[in-house]
Each structure stands twice: as structure tokens, then as C-alpha cells.
Structure 1
Amino acid sequence: MRRKLAAGNWKMNGTSAALAELKALAQANATATVDILICPPATLLHRAAEVAGDSAVSVGGQDCHAATSGAHTGDLSVDMLKDAGAKSVILGHSERRTDHGEGDAMVRTKAEVAIAAGLTAVVCLGESLEQREAGETLDVIGAQLQGSVPDGCTGETLVVAYEPIWAIGTGKVPTLGQIGEVHTFLRGRLVERFGEETGSAVRLLYGGSVKAANANDIFAVEDVDGALVGGASLKAADFAPIIAALSDS
């Protein structure tokens, strides 16, 4: 049985004051029937891990460098993330792919390094609106999955997040049928590549304008094991109903 996961990506949002939201979230989820992950900006990571404490909330990084150390000004290694308290790291988010030119090969290398260090790699995939309208979604997603996910993954070391680029922060959400089609496709490809046991153990998240109003419907879709949430994860009061919907699904 895959344990469901509600993950929050704070992106480039949050200063010290935001830790109060994390504290409220942790206190409300001292125990939980689902896993909860918050990925704050790096400046808050260590303090966020301390605030989360022994609650059901864990913290993760938003990216890592492919090298374990060296002359890479401004970058963070997986050992730095772990030292700060991270348990996971988001990799291959469309904003990294677009803004920083990260391709599948780079994402794969980062995932290999992260997994080797003991972090869970949350690998993001997603098509553009142009690709969706051209009927290329499954081809694009399949190529990203093959190119971005390293060999030897397990249900403990890998989470895959499907985030259609055109739905991130736009308020636009794919139909439930479109979400289901991609998640069923991803599950099939994972089973084909890693075998039934491992392929069925990897958690698949949906991301892109997830909020309290649509969470119940999205979580009812087969092979949706949770969500990667952006803006709605910044406030405990906004994230709480999404977590509750996942717990009830």
C-alpha cells in the first residue's frame, strides 16, 4: 500500500515569519495518516527542520547541485541539504528546466546523487500547453520519465510528480480524465521499467493549481497518490483542507 503524500513547494517565498505557518502545520499534524513534506527556501531549511521536529511533517530542498562539493558559487550540495535536516529534494521542476536550462540528463544526475546520499528524489515532469494541444503529452512525459529517472529506484527513493506546465499557478486544471490518463501511463511505464513490485510502490503526485476546492476530486483519480502544491501550501489554513482531503481519499 502506497502511503499518500502531501508536498508543499514554497518556491522563492518565505522569510523567518513564515516559520509560524510551518509550526501551526506541524502542531496540527503531530500524527497523521499521510506523509507531509514542506520544501521551504534554503534560508529556512535548518530552522524549518527544527520547527517540524517529530511531527508528521518533514522538510526538503527545492533543488541540489549534481556535484557533492566544489567551486559552485550559490549552489547547494546534497550533503548540505541533509545537514540542514532535509529528507527529500525536488528535482526537475519546470521552473528549473525553463529558467535554468536543466534537461533530463541533468535531472537524472542530480537524482542519482540525491538518492545515493539518502534523500528521496521528487522528480517533476510536465508538458507545455503547446505540447498538450498538439497531442504530444504522453510522448513528452514518457521521454522525461525515461531520461530524468535513474536506474535502481525504489518506492522509498523516488516520487514522481506530474505537473503540466500550463496549470502551474494559472488556476487552470486538466480534466480528471486527463490527469488519470497521464498517471495511468506513468504507472505502466514504471512497472514496465522497474517491475511490478517497485513500479507499483513509487508514489505519483499531481501538481498544478491544487486547492481545497478541487482536492477531493483530484485525489479520487486512480494512481494519484497525493499532490505537489505551490501557493496553497504557504499558509497552514490553506494547506490543511488539502491534507484532510488526501487523508479521506
Structure 2
Amino acid sequence: MSTAPILSSVPVDAAVPRHVAIIMDGNGRWAKARHLPRVAGHKAGVEAVRRVTRAARAMGVEALTLYAFSSENWRRPEDEVGALMGLLRLFIRSDLAELVEENVRLRVIGDYRRFAPDLVALVDDAMAKTAHNSGPILVIALNYGSQAELVAATRRLAARAAAGEIDAAAITADDIEAELDTAALPPLDLVIRSSGEQRLSNFLLWQAAYAELLFVDTLWPDFTADTLAEAIAAFGQRQRRYGGL
């Protein structure tokens, strides 16, 4: 696996967010503009994942969460879903050694166990092999939907309250956060969406309550280390008041 050096323009002087999440959008439009099949856009998108994950590590981002497959993506054509699953298999098999070598912890959020058994086993093995790494965290959202995540967390808290383990009237925001898929991750600082669309699409709705949102026109396959550096520089110019003055 080639590990080309990150461009010299990547380091930025602005404050670096601890946790960045990216809605990777635009693969299909990238392919259409080039008169290519949609799967070609997804393949190019995987290369963008490699570039951006390496750049994020170089810039000191502690956690990078990538929206790879939403719970709504099952509505896409069966052959496209199959191609996405194949690319996920390829990414894990080809990049796992680099994640281990770079001390990256891999974490998956979402109901990925709905996938084929061999893919589930591959994901479980990858997480197990990086579990003791102490460096940056790469989070992949697979079959993830924020509303479903919140419903599941609410049900678990309700069950505990019904069993007398906790007082329902005393449930706090911290209790809810502890039940989310993202528990123990750094607070979400920055959400980036590529391709010019300006919505969260059921992604990290609770976690994004005070995150900075940045929508860029760049299609995901064209997203580079420099694009990420520009986004982080823009983040560094924001004033985060959290409701205060």
C-alpha cells in the first residue's frame, strides 16, 4: 500500500478540532460527470478516504468519523449496494496493516451486523486487531442512522428505569450520551459535508448539537488533504460560544 507523503500545505496554524465527522457525498455525480458507472465514483471515493484519513492523522485530529453507509442506503439498487460492500471488504483487507502500523484504532458505529456474515467477521477482526492501539480513532458509520441510534438508547434507558436500576426522572444528557454508539469518543467539533448539499441526513444529530457545520462544494472523490486543511482553517476562525456571549 502506497503511503505518499501528505502535501506540505496541509499543516495549519488554526486550532485543530479533536473530532471531525464527514458526510462523504458526491460519488455518483462525480461518475456521471465523467460518463462513468456509479461504482467508479465509489472506487474514487475510497481513494479519497485514504487521502483524508492520512491527512487527518498528520494534522492531529483525534477522531475522524466517516458516514460510509446509512440505514437509508439499502434503498439503492441491489448491484450498487453489493459494490459498496465489496469496496468495504477491499478497504479493510488492504488498509488494515497500515492502521495497525500507524497506531490507529478502528471503531464502527451503526447496525453493521445486518451485513453479510463474512463482512461482519472482517469488521470484527479489524476492530479487534486495532483495539489496543492508543493513537487516533477512525470511526466508520455503517448501516447507521441517528434517529435509530437515539431510539435504541432511549429504549435501553427505559428498560433500566422499569427494572428499578435508575430513576427515570433523574436521567441526564450524560446518561443518554453514554448509551449512544459514540460513547467515549471526543465531543464532536466539526461536521463537513461534501458536494454542496446542506443537510445532516440523519447523521450524528445529538452529537452535532454544538458542532460547527461546514458545507463544501467539492465532490467527495475530489476531496484532498488541502480541502481538509481549508476546512480546519475555517473551523479555527469560528467563535464557539455554546449559548453564551
TM range (shorter): 0.3 to 0.5
Q: TM-score, normalised by structure 2?
A: 0.39
Report the structure number with the largest CA radius of gyration.
2
Q: TM-score, normalised by structure 1?
A: 0.38
Larger RCO (CA within 8 A; separation ≥ 6): 2
